[in-house]
Structure 1
Amino acid sequence: EAACGPQSGLVADSLALLATAQQHTTAWDGPTTGPKASPGKLVVYVAQDMRNGGVLGVSQGVQSAAAAIGWKLKIIDGVGTVAGRVSAINQAVALKPDGIVLGSVDAQEEAAAIRAAAQQGIKIVGWHSAAAAGPVQDPPIFTNVTTEAVNVAKVAAAYALQTTNCTAGAVIFWQSGDAIGIKKAEMMRDVIKACGTCKVLDYVNTPLADTAARMPQNTTSLLQRFGAGWTVGLGINDLYFDFAAPALRTAGVASSGPPRFISAGDGSVAAFDRVRSGSYQIGTVAEPLHEAGWQLIDELNRALAGQPPSGYVAPVHLVTKDNIQFDGGPKNIYDPDNNYERHYKAVWGSTAR
């Protein structure tokens, strides 16, 4: 970032976050104290859609953590529809579990069903159920586990600055009706605008559900409009680039770009492949999906023991070609090398397997 010159305010703040986000994660900065394992509980994981890589990855973490703490787990798939999610929560409540884990199920959309579950004394935790980490008052969610969306966006945008020496010509891809996504997109736009020598060329609202149909045409038309002036594509999700990359290839753009893509979430398998092979995408801010699953089980154990949530928020991590050999990268997932399983088992005590 030396070529960017001295920076202040938002740009300096974002570049500082980026420096930390690019490091190999070895130190555990999560909880080291908490209640011992409550034995023999039943937990239900209600998935927004098990086809979604993030939702699936968290479910795998929840599964291994539930086995370690000695709990029974049932997974119910909301199959990506509102009706499916309502039915999944109702089925979960009917099982009379001790706890429910919401996997990317929006708290406000499902407020009535969540309130009904809470009224029966079921403890509820969420992953990506609200825009911010921590407790949700209404509907009552003991705690919501997520990285800080604003910091994810700052890191992605800062990497656009760093890799273009603060000359980014950026196009930002986002979708309406998605609180977390909008927050990320607006922050990326703010960082690019705060860099005086950068430009936001376009701010493109494309629903993630329509990427297959829309992104090839979007990409071709942006190339025609901006040519080599389009140096960076920033997206709220890797999915945009699944369909933009082939369109660039068809248009004869070299895999090293420009443009080059950076995603502000969540680190899909395809994104890891592109980053590793240097194929258009140079970075993805990946969520620690398995670790989040362990945190969700730990938070439920705190709720069942009548203790407050841990307050832990996992730090933001950017996967690039320079660090992809660490932290689960070879397996196409961000899984920090910080021994989180061992630390959580130590908190839960001797009953933990």
Structure 2
Amino acid sequence: MLSPKYVARSQCALAFAVGLFVAATPTLSSAADADPTKTYAEGIPTLEQLYASSEYAPPATGPKLQPGKNIIFLSCGQASVGCAGPALAMEKIAKLVGWNYKIIDGEFGVNDRYNSGMRQAIAAKPDAIVEHGISCTQIPQPLREAKEAGIPVISIQSLDCDDPKTAGGPSEALYVQMQFNKDFKSAAEFFYQAGFTQASYLINATQGHAVIIRDKYTGSLQGDYQTAGQDAALAKCSDCKVVASVEWVASEAGPSGVLNQKFSTTLVRHPEANAVLLTYDSVATSYGISKMIQDAGRADSMIVVGGEGYGPAQQLIRDRAGLTADVGQSSEWMAWGAVDTMNRLFNGQPLVPQGIGYRVIDASHNLSSEGQDYSPPNPPIDLEGTYLKSWGIK
């Protein structure tokens, strides 16, 4: 057994070595030194292209809005800004169009809340249930019960049971999937594109020399597809590598949770890392990883990329406080798109892509007004005006 004095000396030596490395690392906390028009790896979009967005206008025409519908939204967990965003945005839309609306908090599935929450929604006999961020494989039996009751369950950013990555093989589809974009319609394609976009920014910002620590959410297939997208982009960069992936599930999250302990240890073990990939804004903000990076004295020597574009994350970018960029996606647009999906379903019309995409945000590009979540610039994209007009509402 090592003596306490030996352990203490070793810890001091490691801390000193890390300090030397950080002091010697060139500033890489922004993409300012990178050429926005240059391709740093073949097959990777330039910074200029990433800033320009993959969004396009929502559908301009559609069936007349069905009045007086009763809708229940099962949220993946209202304590997380990423889960709460679409639910709260839809609440405003429902009030605007005169639909009855209720949010059930899935509380991250703790104490089987996803299953009980879906059954609670079914018992209320709504016209439709909307869920967000909960894979079909997490609640298959309640989804079958909803199907038997004739209640459609509209999915936002969730994988269905017919997904080819499903453990044990795919089975019947139980969700009505909102279509995001003509180029990536499904949730699987959407998350893959998110990961590809995140890694593309890192490749450009580090000028093709990214040494990466990343978190990897393993609680559902969303994380698998996002990681696959990152890997596909990084495979195109000859001098980029992932030195550590910190795996976690929802129950391990929080300011002092297992995720933080794992990430803190990983940060110390890899002083050579100059980049970080974070799956969601909440990892950077409410889970405290950006603060951890800043407290470690590495906010000025790392490119840190998150994904969602909520107001608190954008503030970290403004303050240069452990987050460099975010892959902005509009939760407001997802809510409008889900309402349009339901309305087409109620009218017996085919579903269509909603135009939802990504727009990279950093300190010099695409920041929203202070305190505001990311939403597409208006003009050219007027979400409320376009959707209401398409539904026959002035």
The residue number in structure 2 matching 1:237 is 280
Q: Distance in 2 between matches of 1:314 and 1:13?
A: 23
8 Å CA contact 1:49–1:78 kept in 2: the answer is: yes
Secondary structure of the residue aligned to 1:196 is coil
The residue number in structure 2 matching 1:277 is 319
Q: Distance in 2 between matches of 1:96 and 1:325?
A: 41
Deviation at 1:289, TM superposition (A): 0.5
Pair 195,45 (structure 1): closer, same or farther in 2 beyond 3 Å = same
Q: Distance in 2 between matches of 1:3 and 1:65?
A: 38
Give the one of 132, 140, 143 matched to 2:174.
140
Pair 52,225 (structure 1): closer, same or farther in 2 beyond 3 Å = closer
Structure 2 residue 43 is the aligned partner of structure 1 residue 13: yes
164-173 or 88-97: bigger deviation? 88-97
Matches within 5 A, 1:114-125: 114-125=143-154
The residue number in structure 2 matching 1:63 is 91
Pair 29,3 (structure 1): closer, same or farther in 2 beyond 3 Å = closer
Using the size of structure 1 for normalisation, the TM-score is: 0.85
The residue number in structure 1 matching 2:356 is 314
8 Å CA contact 1:173–1:205 kept in 2: the answer is: yes
Amino acid at match of 1:43: I
Alpha-carbon RMSD: 2.9
Amino acid at match of 1:342: G
8 Å CA contact 1:28–1:340 kept in 2: the answer is: no
Secondary structure of the residue aligned to 2:134 is coil
Give the one of 206, 211, 215 matched to 1:164.
206
Secondary structure of the residue aligned to 2:45 is helix
Structure 1 unaligned segments of length 5 or more: list them. Answer: none
Q: Distance in 1 between matches of 2:277 and 2:160?
A: 20
The residue number in structure 2 matching 1:99 is 128
Give the one of 257, 267, 276 matched to 1:213.
257
Using the size of structure 2 for normalisation, the TM-score is: 0.77
Give the one of 365, 384, 387 matched to 1:341.
384
The residue number in structure 1 matching 2:13 is none
Deviation at 1:92, TM superposition (A): 1.6
Structure 2 residue 89 is the aligned partner of structure 1 residue 89: no
Pair 151,24 (structure 1): closer, same or farther in 2 beyond 3 Å = closer
Matches within 5 A, 1:321-332: 321-326=363-368, 329-332=369-372
Give the one of 342, 366, 374 matched to 1:300.
342
Q: Distance in 2 between matches of 1:208 and 1:97?
A: 28
Amino acid at match of 1:53: V
Pair 249,43 (structure 1): closer, same or farther in 2 beyond 3 Å = closer
8 Å CA contact 2:153–2:176 kept in 1: the answer is: yes
36-45 or 63-72: bigger deviation? 63-72
Q: Distance in 2 between matches of 1:142 and 1:157?
A: 30
Secondary structure of the residue aligned to 1:331 is coil
Structure 2 unaligned segments of length 5 or more: list them. Answer: 1-33, 164-169, 181-186
Q: Distance in 2 between matches of 1:6 and 1:223?
A: 29
Deviation at 1:218, TM superposition (A): 4.1
Amino acid at match of 1:115: R
Q: Distance in 2 between matches of 1:310 and 1:210?
A: 37
Deviations 1:108-140 (A, max 9, x none): 2222212222222222211122179x9x98343
Pair 231,346 (structure 1): closer, same or farther in 2 beyond 3 Å = same
- The aligned length equals 338
Deviation at 1:145, TM superposition (A): 5.2
Q: Distance in 2 between matches of 1:114 and 1:345?
A: 30
Give the one of 227, 251, 257 matched to 2:296.
251
Pair 62,23 (structure 1): closer, same or farther in 2 beyond 3 Å = same
Q: Distance in 1 between matches of 2:171 and 2:153?
A: 12
Secondary structure of the residue aligned to 1:35 is coil
Deviation at 1:226, TM superposition (A): 3.3
